A and B are shown apart, each in its own frame.
Chain A
Amino acid sequence: MATETLLVELGTEELPPKALKSLGLSFRDGILRGLTERKLEFGDVQWFATPRRLAVMVSDVQLQAPDETVEVLGPPVAAARDKAGDWSPAAIGFAKKQGVKPEQLQEFDSPKGARLGLRSTVTGAGTSASLNEIIQGSIQQLPIPKRMRWGASRVEFVRPVHWVVAMLGSNSDHGEVLGLATGNTTRGHRFHSSGDITLNRPEDYQSALADAKVVASFEQRREMIREQVEVEASALKANAVIDDSLLDEVTGLVEWPVALTGSFEERFLEVPAEALVSSMKEHQKYFHLEDQDGKLRPNFITIANIESEDPIQVIAGNERVIRPRLSDAAFFFETDKKTSLEQRVAKLESVVFQQKLGTLKDKTARVMVIAAELASRIDSDPALAERAALLSKTDLLTEMVLEFSDMQGIAGYYYALHDGEDENVAVALNQQYWPKFAGDRLPENPTACALGLADRLDTLVGIFGIGQPPTGSKDPFALRRASLAVLRIMVELGLDLDLRDCLQLAAAQYPEGLIADDTPGKVFDYMIERFRAWYEEESIPAEVFKSVSARNLSRPLDIQRRVHAVHAFTALPEAAALAAANKRVSNILEKLEPSHVFGEVSDNLLVEPEEKQLAAQLATLTKVAQGHLADDQYTEALACLAGLRESVDAFFDGVMVNADDEALRANRLSLLKALRDLFLEVADISQLVVGK
Chain B
Amino acid sequence: MPLIVLDRDGVINEDSDAYIRSLADWRPIPGSIAAIAALSKAGFTIAVATNQSGLSRGYLGLEDLEAIHDKLREQVEEQGGQIAGIFYCPHLPQEGCSCRKPATGLLEAIETELGESPRGAIFIGDSLKDLQAARACGCQPMLVKTGKGAPTASALQAGELALADYQSVPIYDDLAAAARDILLRLPASKDDR
- The answer to whether A and B assemble together is yes
Chain A interfacial positions (CB closer than 8 Å to B): 13-14, 16-17, 51, 150-151, 160, 162, 190-192, 194, 253, 283-285, 302, 304-306, 308-310, 313-314, 316-321
- Within 8 Å CB of B37, what residues of A? 14
CB distance from A229 to the nearest CB of B (A): 16
- Within 8 Å CB of A305, what residues of B? 38, 41
A13-B31, A17-B79, A310-B186 known; A191 and B180 CB under 8 Å?
yes
CB distance from B170 to the nearest CB of A (A): 15
Chain B interfacial positions (CB closer than 8 Å to A): 1-2, 27-28, 30-31, 33-35, 37-38, 40-44, 78-80, 82, 176-177, 179-180, 183-186, 188
B43 touches A321 (CB 8 A): yes
B79 touches A191 (CB 8 A): no
Q: CB < 8 Å: which of A13, A16, A192, A317 contacts B43?
A: A317
Q: CB < 8 Å: which of A14, A150, A306 contacts B79?
A: A14
B184 touches A306 (CB 8 A): yes
From B34, B177, B185, residue with most partner A Cβ within 10 Å:
B34
A190 touches B38 (CB 8 A): yes
B43 touches A318 (CB 8 A): yes
B186 touches A191 (CB 8 A): no
Can you name 16 extra interface pairs (CB under 8 A) apart from A14-B33, A194-B177, A320-B1?
Answer: A14-B37, A16-B78, A191-B183, A192-B184, A253-B79, A253-B80, A283-B82, A302-B41, A305-B38, A306-B183, A308-B184, A309-B186, A314-B43, A317-B41, A319-B43, A320-B43
B80 touches A314 (CB 8 A): no
Q: Is the interface of A mostly helix, strand, loop or mixed?
A: loop
Of the A-B pairs whose beta carbons lie under 8 Å apart in the complex, a sample of 19, sorted by A's number, is: A13-B34, A14-B34, A14-B37, A14-B79, A160-B30, A190-B35, A191-B38, A191-B176, A191-B180, A191-B183, A194-B177, A309-B184, A309-B185, A313-B188, A316-B43, A318-B41, A318-B43, A320-B1, A321-B1
CB distance from B4 to the nearest CB of A (A): 11
- Within 8 Å CB of B80, what residues of A? 17, 253, 284-285
- Within 8 Å CB of A191, what residues of B? 38, 176, 179-180, 183-184
CA distance A317 to B177 in the complex (A): 21
A190 touches B186 (CB 8 A): no
- Within 8 Å CB of B28, what residues of A? 13
CB distance from A646 to the nearest CB of B (A): 67
CA distance A160 to B30 in the complex (A): 8
B44 touches A317 (CB 8 A): yes
CB distance from A43 to the nearest CB of B (A): 35
B1 touches A314 (CB 8 A): no
- Within 8 Å CB of B186, what residues of A? 308-310, 313-314
CB distance from B101 to the nearest CB of A (A): 27
From B1, B31, B34, B41, residue with most partner A Cβ within 10 Å:
B41
CB distance from A320 to the nearest CB of B (A): 5
B34 touches A306 (CB 8 A): no
4 closest Cβ contacts across the A-B interface? A317-B43, A191-B180, A320-B1, A14-B34
Q: CB < 8 Å: which of B31, B41, B78, B82 contacts A190?
A: B31
CB distance from A303 to the nearest CB of B (A): 9
Q: CB < 8 Å: which of A151, A194, A283, A317 contacts B42?
A: A317
A17-B80, A150-B27, A191-B184 known; A306 and B42 CB under 8 Å?
yes
CB distance from B75 to the nearest CB of A (A): 8
- Within 8 Å CB of B179, what residues of A? 191
CB distance from B135 to the nearest CB of A (A): 26
- Within 8 Å CB of A306, what residues of B? 38, 42, 183-184
